[in-house]
Structures are given as C-alpha cells and as structure tokens.
Chain A
Amino acid sequence: MTKLDAKIPAGPLAEKWRNHKNSLRLVNPANRKKLDIIVVGTGLAGAGAASALGELGYNVKVFCYQDTPRRAHSVAAQGGINAAKNYMNDGDSIYRLFYDMIKGGDYRAREANVYRAAEVGNDVIDHFTALGVPFARDYGGMLTNRSFGGVQVSRTFYARGQTGQQCLLGTYSSLSRQIGKKSVTMMSRREMLDLVIVDGKARGIIARNLVTGELERHSAHAVVLATGGYGTVYYLSTLAVNSNGSAAWIGYKNGAFFGNPSFIQIHPTSIPVLNDFQSKLTLMSESLRNDGRVWVPNEKGEKRHPNEIPEDERDYYLERRYPAFGNLVPRDVASRAAKERCDAGYGVGESGLSVYLDFKDAIKKQGEKVIEEKYGNLFEMYEKIGGTSPYKEPMRIYPAGHYTMGGLWVDYNLMTTIPGLFAIGEANFSDHGANRLGASSLMQCSGDGYFILPYTISDYLSDQIKVPSIKTELPEFEKAEKEVQDRINKLLSINGSQTPASFHKRLGKIMWDYCGMVRNEEGLKKGLQLIDELEEEFRRDVMVAGTADEFNQELEKAGRVADFFGVSRLMCIDALGRKESCGAHFREESQTETGEAKRDDDNYTYVAAWEYKGPGQAPQLHKEELNFEFVELKVRSYK
C-alpha cells in the first residue's frame, strides 16, 4: 500500500508557506523558455496560472473547450470572493478566515493548505484591483465588503451579483496580454481526451480539435489540470451545461488518486425545477441570505399566495432552528433544512419542492433602491425565469447540485500522485473539506493559479532543465491517441436509439436520489446497481449522431456521459465507505436526535484517496490521516 505523502512543511502554521517558498528550488530565467507547460482550463485557476507562468517566461500552452477562454464556468460565479483584509474592522484576520474554512469544512480539510489559501487571498484582491476589476466601493472610494454564510464577519468582496464574471474577465485580460506577447499559446475549442505518461511522468495530452475533429498530440514537461468541478453529475445543477468530470476521470484512470469524490455541495438557493424539459438550474446567490428571510407556511399544503399569509402563520425555520446564525447558516445546513421541511409536507409551489426567500422586511427597512443596488441583476434574472418580481413577492428556491469539494488528490505543492501532473482550482480536493464556505472558491482558484502553483511547479521543473522538449512521436503518444480513437469509434458505432443527454438525465436522477443531499447504505447500494444497469444500456443503445471528423456536439456529450458513469460509481463507493456524516455528506445512519450531522472523528478523520485498479476492478482506498495541530476538533454548531 502506497503511503500518501502530503509534504506539509513543518513549523508554525503562519510561517509554513513563507518558509516553504524559501526552500523551493527556482528555475533560471534563461532556462524557463526551454520548459513547456500545458495548462488545461481557463477559469480563474487555469487562466491565472497560465498568465503567471507566461510572465515568468515559461513556454505555456493553455486549453479550453469553449470558443474563448473568457467563457470558462468561473464567469457564472455571483456572490463574491473572500479575503481577510479586515477593511470592515470587525475583527477579521487570516487566522479567522482559516478557522471558518476549517470549521465550515467540518474538519475534513488539511490545515496547512487552508491557511495558505486564506493567506494568499489578500494578494488576490490586490492583484484583481490592479487589473481593473470593479469591486464594490463605498462613497469614500474604498472597497467594501458583505457577509456570507457560515461566518460572523464581513469579508466578501463583490462586484454586484457578477463577481465571477468580473474576476474572470480580469484574469482573461492578464492572460490575453501574455497571448499578445506570445508567451502563452491559446488553444480554444480543444478537449483533452487523454493524458500521456512517459517514464512515470505526465508529459502531454491528447486533445480533440472540436472544430475539425482531428486528434492532436501536445507534449510538455509538466501538465496542469484546472478543469473545474463535476457538479453536472446530477444533470440539473447550477453549473454551465457543458461542465463535466472527464478531465478528473482521465487523471484518475492514469494513476492520479481521487480525493473524497462524494463530497459535493448542494446549494440551498437555486431557482427550483419548474418543468421537465429544463436543462439547468439557475443559482440565486447566497449573498441574498444577507437580507432575505427563508420561510415556509405553518400549515401543510397551504394554498394562499405568500403575500396573504400573515406573519404568525409563517415558519422562519432557519431562524427558529439556528438562532445564532439564522438565515446565514452554511450551505449544507440550509439545504438539508429546506429538504426536511419539504419532505415533511410544508414545501410550496406546485411540486411542493420549494421554500420562500423573502425580501419584504429588507425592502421596508433599507428601501427598494438599496436592495436593487445590491441584488438588482439577480432579481432581474429571477423574474426572467421564475416569472414573478422578488420586489413584490418572495422568491421560490430549492437546493441544487453546485460545487465539488472532492477532486484529484494533491500534496501541498498541488501535485497529484503522478509526478508532473498538477491539479488546481475546483479540480483538486484540497481546501474545502466536506463543505465549502461561500466565496472561498474564487479565492482558492485564483490563489492556486496566480500565487501558489507558479512557485511549486518551478520547484518540480528545476531538475528538468536538461530534458529537451518531449517528442510527440513517442510510442506513448501513439498508444494514447489510438486508444482515444478507438473509444470514439466505439461510441459512434453503437447506433442505438437514445441520445447521450437522455442518459445523462437518467444518471443525474439516480445520483440525486441516492447520492445527493442525504445518503444511506441501502440507497447507495441501490444507486450502484442502477448505475451499472444504465451504463450497460448506454453501451448498447446510445445514439451518437454525426461523424468523428467534424464539429460534433453529440459526440462531445457522449464522451462526457460515458465518463460520468465512472465518476458516479466512485462517488457512491466513497459515500458508502464513509459511515459518518460530515459537512455535505449526510449519512442518515449517523445523525443526532435533532437531525444534525454526527461526525465520527475517531474513525474518519482522513481524506479518502482512491486509486484506479483497472476496468471492472474495485478501486483501492488510501487514507491520508488529517492531523489537527492548531485547531481543536469540535462539534460544528450554528445554533
């Protein structure tokens, strides 16, 4: 059994990163341009990394499947980005942000990584501001903050409800500058379909040119995956519809361990499922819970219009159950509380699967104009989809799949178990434990890309300077390309009767029912069986229209769905193995009398890192024990 080495530097928490940076090896500027780096992904993580590496003088190639890097899914983030600047003078500090993330993650994240993420968060805000990201300001011209769930300070920087867009466009501008200088080569409309390993090291990728269908070989001294999360495993989720789990799956199949695959966040405030043909769920930012109050009627099956239900007939259940944090409890807690009310029959809307988010009191207190300034674009978005105005009546919301805390296992240097393969941003597992606190993903993605990876990858590359550019004629490339070609041909030759999307939808339903907000042993086993059956049906009856050598969106979808079967299975296996409840992973067998999650620190204070063992084989579990040196493990309470 391999022993996982997280390579956490020794020393006091606040000095670990600084000391580590001082000990990392460097690459001489003259040698950097001889070193090739592939970055897959152009979200905050990938575009940030590619810019920073380009600035340093490395020879960088960056990939995305969209037509331009500016459309990576990071663009859709709404609410904000955290940093412990303490501009609000409310007692914030890097330690407090670190602590909130550790606690919010239900003590299942690595202390050293989390502290570092909080530490570089401040640099991220400085950098974005310098790049011209228009964060919200007060009348004195200074940056202002708001609060997010699970914390008692205001540390969230925001750009109306479009923070992700503004941060990504800032990052895209820095990337574009490097592209203009030719230090970075942009490869858009390319999908990575395999990783190439030479002598045990990651040395390149096979990508499909999505315009021509051609398979391309790209080589490098190191490969970085910044490919985002796989929340679309539920089919309906808050993610962009093309987001997928294939890159992580490819890494895993090539030997990178997969960390905590079942840790997936269900966001409490999404516009509910309105009809059967819906292709995605639209998020209503968590920031809304700053001013919105969540409630359901006191009576089951209440049919009155929400505005007609008097105050004393409303159950503000979050305020009732969690007086200390009220509407701002963390996401996992808020999601389960909504599900509990709806399952008990108090839900509203036609399906009974939604609750109210009400701004009546906030508008009364602060005036419509202030509320509009804070949430105008979200209200507009809601009205376009939901058909009613949140200024006039409460929104209806329900939980939806949103963010994957799980991802490729990485050490402190953000390197996976394959030498030379790095994973950054949402694609790795490292900083959010079993539940992510709002606004800390943008922070982590940008921190990883701009401020951490450039140091750690240089250390790895420092002993590669004598290695000439890797030749794509090597048999390893030949073999990987052929395998991809075979996979594509196979999908096209099935010629069945059902579309890839219809399989995705059915798989999503299985995952939502059996590996979603609550899980139990029986359900997970059932889920595994259903996944097997559905995959068998897919291999027999999927219909992939078109051919391999052209622009073919059906083929793209089919490949992603095929990989999702594997990801789904791994999620269920992981969820089965973890018999405790922690964060977003709620095992019904492990709860307190009042229905709160019950952790089992004696047996499960570890990261589950799964190793691929071949098709049809059970994966092997490796445990990275989490040692809490600086924080005492406590029962997470928001009451």
Chain B
Amino acid sequence: MKIKLKIWRQKNAKAKGRFADYELANISSEMGFLEMIDALNTKLIGEKKEPVSFDHDCREGICGSCGLYINGRPHGPDARTTTCELRMRSFKDGETVVIEPWRAKSFPVIKDLVVDRTALDHIIAAGGYISVDTGAAQEANNIAVCKNASDKAFDAASCIGCGACVASCKNSSAMLFVSAKVYQLAMLPQGKIEARERVQKMTAEMDRQGFGSCSNTYACEAECPKGISVTTIARMNAEFLTAKIIAQKVG
C-alpha cells in the first residue's frame, strides 16, 4: 500500500517545529507502524536527509517507550494498542497519516517525536511506593490478600507509564497515571498503611510538575493502551478526601 505522512519535525527543545510531508510506497499491511517509520528512515538516510527520531524499545507493548500521536489519537486508531503493536492494516491505502509527539506542558519535546516524560518519574519518587527496606520483609505468605483485591490491584498495576492519558487530556492531567498507582497500592494490605500520605504526596508532585487538573472527561480511559479504568480515579479522590479531612481534624 501507499501512505502519505505528515510528521512533526523539530530539531531540539528550543527549535521551532513544523510538519513535513513524506510519501511511502510498497508498505505491507502486515508491517508494524514503527517498522513503517524504520522504512521511512532508511529512505531518508538514502537521500542524505535526517531520519525521524522516535522512542521505542520492546516493540511488544510492555515497556511504554513508544508513544506517537497518530491522526489525532494517542497510539493511533486501535483500542488497547500501543504504537508499536499497531499494524499498517489499520490504515487505508493512500491514506494521509499525521504523526505528532505527545503534546503537554509537562512533556517538553526533545527532538521530532521524542518527548521528556521524567515528570512521571518525579511523581513516583514522591510517594508511589511502599516503604520497605531490603531485608525487612516478612515471609510472603504471612500476608493473605483476597484474590479479588489482588486481581484489581493487578489491573491497575499494568500501567506502562507511556503518558497517553496525559496526551489525550485537554487539561494535560496525569490523573489516570497517578490513580492507577494509588489504587494498586491501596488495594493491598501492604500498601494501606501509607495510603493517605501517598495520595497527598503524589498529587502535590503532580501539581508541581505542571500537569493540569482532572475535569472528568475520561478521554484518558478511552486512549489508555492498557485499559486502566477511571474507577481508579474515583477511588483516589475518595482516598484524597479522607486524607484531607483527617489532616484537618488532626490539624
């Protein structure tokens, strides 16, 4: 198949970006989306032009590196699919495909389609953990965890930290990312002890990193490649409220 591409090109963080047009013929519908960009890059290099930079690593939907804004949607048209899992069969012959980086104040562009997502790391470092030192753990089966709670924790824990939720949100909120972690740890007895403190620290850091606030449009849930549910946000809000009330009382 033939594909027309409109790709965001930006030399570095300071430079002004612009769209550039390319055309590729002989694209197989079985090609992965990133393999299609590989093919474009080979062609560009052959023409002594600069290849397009983009983040990727595992190429099987688990590391969260890849993340392209394709035809106005993070990770492209397919539901629950990361960019690297996307195949060209999801596009029509002759279609124009527009590719942009994640756009959010907290994710500055590094080059072309590569953005800086360390803001998400800072949120985790602020409290997205259970405080246990190496060697301090008790025998694993001393902690019984209801299977249902454990399964729910798991669902939330499968967030890959890609940032699509932020990119999909008109407020650039990181709420789904944060609530997924808060929810996972709050579901488990090991994580309950710090639950309230955790939610406050993580939310404060989210604000400090410049992410917007959540206005419950739930675009994030629709675009999350791992199907993280917005019920985690509800749970986090509840956790946050209790934490606040308690803080006031103790005051």
A: which residues have CB within 8 A of B? Answer: 48, 51-52, 55, 66-71, 73, 75-76, 85, 87, 123, 125-132, 134, 137-143, 159-160, 162, 164-166, 169, 172-174, 176-177, 179-180, 186, 188, 211, 240-242, 274-275, 277-280, 282, 381, 384-385, 450-451, 454, 497, 499, 501-502, 543, 545-546, 550-551, 553-554
Contact = CB atoms under 8 A, between A and B. Distances in A.
A132 B140 contact: no
Contact of B157 (A125, A134, A174): A134
A137 B136 CA distance: 22
Contact of A71 (B64, B110, B157): B64
Contact of A76 (B11, B53, B60, B87): B60
B131 to A, nearest CB: 6
Contacts of A162: 62, 158
Given A142-B141, A280-B60, A551-B111, A134 B154 contact: yes
Contacts of A545: 44-45, 48-51
A141 B140 contact: no
B219 interface: no
Contacts of A138: 147
A432 B60 CA distance: 26
Contacts of B228: none
Given A52-B134, A451-B134, A68 B35 contact: no
Contacts of A134: 150-151, 153-154, 157, 184, 188
B100 to A, nearest CB: 17
Contacts of A70: 64, 121, 161
A277 B120 CA distance: 33
Nearest to A380: B80
Contacts of A546: 50-51
Interface string B112-153: 001011101100111111111111111111011111001101
Interface string B182-201: 00110010110000000000
B130 A173 contact: yes
Given A275-B31, A279-B59, A129 B129 contact: no
Contacts of B42: 499, 501-502
A75 B45 contact: no
B81 interface: yes
B38 to A, nearest CB: 6
Contacts of B124: 172-173, 176
Interface in B55-94: 55-65, 81, 85, 87
A138 B145 CA distance: 9
Interface string B23-45: 00000101110110011011011
Top 8 A-B residue pairs of the complex, sorted by shortest distance between their CB atoms: A141-B144, A130-B137, A173-B129, A180-B125, A129-B140, A126-B137, A134-B154, A176-B125
Q: How large is the interface on B (under 10, 10 to 19, 20 to 34, 35 or more residues)?
A: 35 or more
A554 B53 CA distance: 9
A69 B161 CA distance: 11
Contact of A551 (B53, B60, B64, B158): B53
Give chain B's interface secondary structure class. Answer: loop
Interface of B: 11-12, 28, 30-32, 34-35, 38-39, 41-42, 44-46, 48-51, 53, 55-65, 81, 85, 87, 110-111, 114, 116-118, 120-121, 124-141, 143-147, 150-151, 153-154, 157-158, 160-161, 184-185, 188, 190-191
A337 B32 CA distance: 30
B178 to A, nearest CB: 13
Contact of A177 (B30, B131, B188): B131
A519 B190 CA distance: 50
Nearest to A65: B57
A162 B150 CA distance: 14
A180 B150 CA distance: 27
Given A174-B129, A180-B125, A279-B32, A142 B144 contact: yes
B63 A169 contact: no
Nearest to B85: A384
Contact of A280 (B45, B59, B139, B184): B59
Nearest to B82: A384
Given A173-B130, A545-B50, A130 B136 contact: yes
Contacts of A48: 134
Contacts of A543: 45
Nearest to B131: A177
Contacts of B117: 67-68
Nearest to A546: B50
Contacts of B49: 545
A496 to B, nearest CB: 11
Given A68-B120, A130-B136, A134-B157, 5 more contacts: A132-B185, A162-B158, A188-B118, A240-B63, A277-B31
B145 A66 contact: no
B190 A240 contact: no
Contacts of B38: 277, 279, 501
Nearest to A279: B35
Given A52-B134, A188-B118, A545-B50, A381 B111 contact: no
Contacts of B151: 134
A186 B120 CA distance: 14
A242 B34 CA distance: 14
24 contacts: A68-B118, A70-B121, A71-B63, A76-B63, A130-B143, A134-B151, A177-B125, A188-B121, A211-B110, A240-B63, A277-B31, A280-B59, A280-B60, A384-B61, A384-B87, A451-B134, A451-B135, A545-B44, A545-B48, A545-B49, A550-B12, A553-B53, A554-B45, A554-B51
Contacts of A497: 46
A160 B154 CA distance: 9
Given A70-B64, A241-B59, A274-B30, A85 B140 contact: yes
